[in-house]
Amino acid sequence: MRIMALIDVHPLDGSNKRGLSMRIASGGKIFDLPISKEQASLLLSKAAPDQPDPVPAPPSAEEMSLFAQFASDAGIEDDQGEYYGEDDDL
């Protein structure tokens, strides 16, 4: 069982049936479970803070060699600065 989201329901029909739910994934199915404000507060306090995306590692020498081979086969030169040929319609 995995908690996927905390949902604050705001009905569009104007009724006062507002409520909190947590969306749970279990056994390949997804369902919403109603929870109280206290339970929602506890869930939010235990949630991991947003972490920045990891910075990708620089390309290895092998990757650079493969890219250089692709660039030469495709006619892309480092000093060209553009990937379009003279005959390409833009």
- Residue 51 is assigned to a structural domain of this protein: no
The DSSP line for 30-69 is: EEEEEE-HHHHHHHHHHSPPP-PPPPPPPPPHHHHHHHHH
Question: How many structural domains comprise the chain?
Answer: 1
pTM of the predicted structure, to 2 decimals = 0.44
What pLDDT does 19 receive?
84
Tell whether 18 is covered by a domain. yes
Indicate whether 30 belongs to any domain. yes
In a domain, 39, yes or no: yes
Domain that holds residue 23: 2-46
Average pLDDT, the chain: 78
> Looking at the domain assignment, is residue 68 inside a domain?
no
Q: Is residue 87 in some structural domain?
A: no
What local confidence, expressed as pLDDT, does residue 86 receive? 58
Task: For 5-43, write each residue's pLDDT tens digit.
Answer: 888 877 777 777 778 888 898 888 998 888 998 988 888
Which position has the higher pLDDT, 71 or 78? 71
Output b/e per residue, 76-89; b: 16+ Cβ within 10 A. Answer: eeeeeeeeeeeeee
Q: Is 66 a member of any domain?
A: no
